[in-house]
Amino acid sequence: MLFNIRSTFRHAWMLPAVLSLVSLPFDLASAASFDCSKASIAAERAICNNTNLSQLDARTAGMYFTILGSDLPVSTLAKVKGYQRQFLDTRNACGSNVNCLVDAYTSQMMYLKNVRSEIGAR
């Protein structure tokens, strides 16, 4: 037998932690939602050079694409796309200012979380 059933259940509480570690990217600097080797503006370079910003970018993009792949009304999806364009303009205007970038991402994440809650309510 490859595993001990008793041991498996005894350590089952560790499963969520182990799964979260497995899902982490191996190179956190590449966690950004875009190719960092092609970063051409100050905001993109700042994101690629900062692990926390890179992770924020990846999470924001993931939530955005989850919403776009949902069955929300076309009008809602169009609104989300518009807000995403505004967010990118705001983000890019931050340049390399980390605090400004964090604020921009935080604001967009809050907006996207509110929209995502509509998906769960359907």
Please state whether the predicted TM-score (pTM) of the whole model is above 0.75.
no
Residue 54's nearest CA partner among 80, 24, 84 is: 24
Q: How confident is the model at residue 19 (pLDDT cuts 50, 70, 90)?
A: very low
Rounded Cα–Cα distance for residues 38 and 36 (Å): 5
> How deeply is 105 buried, as exposed, middle or buried, from its count of CB atoms within 10 A (0-12, 13-18, 19+)?
buried
Q: How confident is the model at residue 118 (pLDDT cuts 50, 70, 90)?
A: confident
Q: Which residues of 9-22 are buried (b: 16+ CB within 10 A; e: fewer)?
A: eeeeeeeeeeeeee
What pLDDT shows up at residue 74?
95
Rounded Cα–Cα distance for residues 5 and 41 (Å): 53
**How far, rounded to the nearest angstrom, does the alpha carbon of residue 73 sit from its chain's CA centroid?**
22
> How deeply is 57 buried, as exposed, middle or buried, from its count of CB atoms within 10 A (0-12, 13-18, 19+)?
buried
Tens-place pLDDT, residues 30-75: 568 888 999 999 999 999 999 999 999 999 999 999 999 999 999 9
In the predicted structure, residue 24 carries a pLDDT above the cut 90: no
